[in-house]
Structure formats: structure tokens, C-alpha cells
């Protein structure tokens, strides 16, 4: 019985997570990125680093992979691969999720903006 409830809850939460990201709107994410991320990040292939690393191809890649960017020790040691389930908490609260990160960004408050931004990052390939 308990296992049944647990499995049910897991399926429900997975379905929810999938639907949130399935609804992520890359075009809206691009606008959000321009306003909130582009001060520190470029997105085009081969564009240089700014305060933060170039983010082309970041989706699905291991953290700290841009060769000519000087990442924090925390990021280098994180072992993160930037899939949805790692991007969402990092973008929501960078320094809460990864103490010692150099990304001094407060975090995205709204789930919708977060999902849109991730949908946009996934197009950068």
C-alpha cells in the first residue's frame, strides 16, 4: 500500500516535471536570457566568455567544460552534467545549490521563466 502510494506519487511528479518542461517556450526563454543572463553570458557558437562562460552547447554537457574559462573550484569539482534536473535548481538558486560558485546571480523565481530558459538553452547546439 505504502509502496503503491509512493510509486503513484513518483509517477505523478514525473508527469508534472515533464509537462512543465514540455511547455517550456524557447522563444520566451530567449527573451528572458537577453534580459537576465546576457550581461554575463554569450550564447552564440564561438562567442567569447564574459563574466561567465559562453553557453553554446551547455545543455547535456558536463559542468566547467569551456576550456578557456576560469571556473570556480566548486564548479570544477561539482561533477554536474547540465540536464534539466540539474539546471533547474542551479538556475533557481545558484549559490544555494552550489556553494562557492562564481555565478553571482540571485536566481530565477518563476518556474515558468526557468522552464523557458532551459528550453532556450537546449536549442543552443
Contact set with ligand HEC (CB under 6 A): 36-37, 39-41, 51-53, 55, 58, 63-66, 71-72, 74-75, 82, 91, 101-105, 108, 117
Q: HEC string of the chain?
A: CHHHHHHHHHHHHHHHHHHHHHCCCHHHHHHHHHHHCCCCCCCCCCCCCCCCCCCCCCCCCECCCCCCCCCCHHHHHCCCECCHHHHHHHHHCHHHHCCCCCCCCCCCCCHHHHHHHHHHHCCCC
Minimum distance from residue 33 beta carbon to ligand HEC (Å): 6
In the bound state with ligand HEC, the residue whose beta carbon lies nearer, of 75 and 122, is 75
| Minimum distance, C-beta of residue 20 to ligand HEC, in the bound complex (Å) | 16
Amino acid at each position: 500500500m505504502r509502496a503503491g502510494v509512493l510509486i503513484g506519487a513518483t509517477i505523478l511528479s514525473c508527469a508534472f516535471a515533464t509537462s512543465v518542461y514540455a511547455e517550456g517556450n524557447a522563444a520566451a526563454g530567449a527573451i528572458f536570457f537577453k534580459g537576465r543572463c546576457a550581461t554575463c553570458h554569450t550564447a552564440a557558437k564561438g562567442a567569447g566568455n564574459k563574466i561567465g562562460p559562453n553557453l553554446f552547447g551547455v545543455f547535456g554537457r558536463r559542468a566547467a567544460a569551456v576550456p578557456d574559462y576560469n571556473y570556480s573550484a566548486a564548479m570544477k569539482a561539482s561533477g554536474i552534467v547540465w540536464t534539466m534536473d540539474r539546471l533547474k535548481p542551479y538556475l533557481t538558486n545558484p549559490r544555494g545549490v552550489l556553494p562557492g560558485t562564481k555565478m553571482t546571480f540571485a536566481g530565477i523565481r518563476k518556474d515558468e521563466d526557468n522552464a523557458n530558459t532551459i528550453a532556450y538553452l537546449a536549442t543552443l547546439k
